[in-house]
Amino acid sequence: MARWALSPVIGSGTYEDPYRAKAADHGGHVTVIPGNADGTPMYPWCVVKFFDDADMVAAAADGDIRVLPAWSLDHPITAGEAAAIEAAGVKFGLNPPDATGHTVRQVLRWFADQLDVTWDVG
């Protein structure tokens, strides 16, 4: 099952230290980091989808990223789970709407919309 996270974008943009998701420290992943015309990241954060070979124990312990629980994309979010999603968004300066009753897929699309990208979360 895919695992999703919000991650800061780190790096100085050089060959030796490229812009990347901090979550990359924990193994296989895919992310989209929208860029400005000068090549710098448009936002200081990104949404990350971890692959099955990622070290999820280390990712969950990383205080810089926020890993969402292992929910299916169509999992309906409870009020308690919505509070965790809101806290993850606030960490990155976002104010997500109340996710109670929505699915993980809808929440991920909301985060992707904040990046102003088209990203098929499945």
What single-letter DSSP state applies at residue 122?
A: -
Contact 82, 99 (CB under 8 A): yes
> Residue 9: its pLDDT value, please?
96
Q: Which residues of the chain have pLDDT under 70?
A: 1, 117-122
Nearest to 57 by CA among 65, 18, 32, 38: 65
Helix (H, G, I), strand (E, B) or coil at 10: strand
> Residue 1: its pLDDT value, please?
66
What is the percent of the chain with per-residue pLDDT over 90, rounded to a whole number? 39
> Residue 15: its pLDDT value, please?
94
Contact 88, 66 (CB under 8 A): yes
Judging by DSSP bridges, how do beta strands 66-67 and 20-21 pair with one another?
unpaired
> Residue 114: its pLDDT value, please?
82
Please give the Cα distance from 119 to 108 (Å, whole number).
9
